[in-house]
Structure 1
Amino acid sequence: MSPDWLLSRVTVVLLAIVGPIYFFLLMLFIPQMMPFGDPWLDFLFHYLAAPTVFSLPWIGTIYYQRYRLANTVHIMDETITAVPLRWRVFYGANAAFILMVFILPMATPVIALIEGLVVAGHVFYRVGVGKLGGGKPAALLGVVVAIGLCILPAFVMIEFLPVYLNLWTNILLAWESFWLQIAYGFAQCLVNALSFGAPVYFIYFGAQQYDRGLYGEVYTKTPTAKIRLMEFILFIVFLFIYLPPIPTPFGIIPFLDQSNLFYNYINWASLAIVGIMILVKFRLKVEGDTTIGGVSNIFVIGLFLVVELFFKANLVLITSIIWLAFIIYAALAVVSYLRASSRELY
């Protein structure tokens, strides 16, 4: 098995592991559900039964679609190979944030109930019609088993959704007043760090093209690891400057809250770098360079920088471009999934 195929399978396994961890952690951050009025039963329901019910449908889906998911990962990797890793991290980070905060908590209870109904129907058919040969006793047993399989997911959904909908209001308020700045600041710092790193990649790309034209082969090697380290250090520095102090259970992280430096200086510099590189590539008719990605990538990068410079106070616009980055990544995932085979490939 090639390393690429092995990596796709490892990714699917990691998804199956990370999913339950996410749901168990999610239950730590929402108010405890208390359907029974008994502290011990409520504790078990909230911290064990609910995350288990949420996790099982995803684990089951991942298992039954494991080959197709692995092929999806492989197709996505082949599709976005031309996009540098740093930009893949950018889109992936935005997608993960939207998925974990907005989509999974609302969609999972409903999915759990639907999959419970599907499994219940399958069990009813197998027990009531197939295994026991039909008849009223077998059908009755099938109905009892099927109802039993639906009760817990339905009960969890009934208890969870009102709690999360109430929490949803607080999430939106916190999003508007605080966490939007955190999420957007994270993306903004990443965009700036990658924008500053792009010219370095471009210089080495130009040197390689010069080698190829003069000597017929490339002697100049791009120090990718060093450039990535530089971008990472820049990202951490930018993050420390941009973000406000963040309270945590272990104390306050003392970020500097100097975002004004970005829309006064740093974002202008990043926008200038992106603009100059686009003009240079267009003027010199450069082909095969992936330092700032394709048209869609340039569009999203430009949006982040322009919105930060001119529309920083527009909550809807800022939220929209974070969702745009998610939609681009999600659309690629959906298209790759539809193209993927459900058979095991090597």
Structure 2
Amino acid sequence: MKGVAMKVVVTGGAGFIGAHLCRELAMRPGVSEVVAFDDLSSGSAENLKDEALEDCGGAVRALGTSGGEVRLVRGSVLEREHLEEVLDGADAVVHLAACPSVTRSMDDPAFSHRVNATGTVRLLEVCRSRKELHLVAASSSSVYGSVSGLPEPEGLSARPLSPYSASKLAAEAYVLAYGAGFGLPTLALRFFNVYGPLQRADKPHAAVVPTFVAAALRRRPLCIKGDGLQTRDFTYVGTVARVLADAVVRRVTCPAPVNLAFGERVSLLELAHLVGEVVGVPVDIRHEPPRPGDIRNSQPVAGTLLRRLFPDVAPVSLRTGLEQTVAWLRKSLDRESTGLPV
């Protein structure tokens, strides 16, 4: 690393999590340049503008307030020449670029593998030629699959239920293998149902939180796939961004995957009713057939590796995170209804 003037590249940097991370990194002393590297297939340059996060309750950060530069570079993790160029002079890379949809992976398994697994190997190969380049990569709680017991420790055997989760497990394994085999400084974090402002409800295969919030704001039924008793551990995006930025600045590494979650188990029915409370409307719940490849229950072991590596991390409560999400999505829907850019 070159002193305190760090250049950090965020693959998928114009996406939901990536845009939050770019803001967080721009606030960090010692980070002089942040590059959002994205092919814009699902991310948007609009996510990196300050106005994208206006009026959502003060839990998000504006770009450029610490003097750190944020720059958007369009490119693909599948193209080595793009990676060689964007990583020139970089000190760290946070790998968030992915095809994140379970449903899409069931329709096109090869595409999920190509983006999530092959794209990760392409990135690792470029990193391997720059041995001091620190890599932090996003894995997924979906790698656990349907487990016989809860909560889920990092050492639990992985049993993917979809091509998406299999591709993320492959990517995670490659990250750890390059760390062990080539001495590359790496950290693989398993994300658990990240939600918050900038996560849109109008995307194909949208996540459950923005889907529920948008339906409640529009006074429409909240549709649940299955009986709604399936459980998740929801993690606010601001917490994820802070952990990722801290990992970059302190060059945190680990030879094993790390659960980025806090052990709070919430059913989809409970989530639906809480969304209704935060929005301030009664909810009409409709049940639909279960989604193929869906996981029944998900709850990580709280503390352990995450607390050891990030002792100062503090989770945001689900209610507080939903309040921020509702405020942002309400404004986004208002802009949409008036024909303004969203």
Higher strand fraction (1 or 2): 2
Higher helix fraction (1 or 2): 1
User: TM-score interval w.r.t. the shorter chain?
Assistant: under 0.3
Which of the pair has more CA radius of gyration? 1
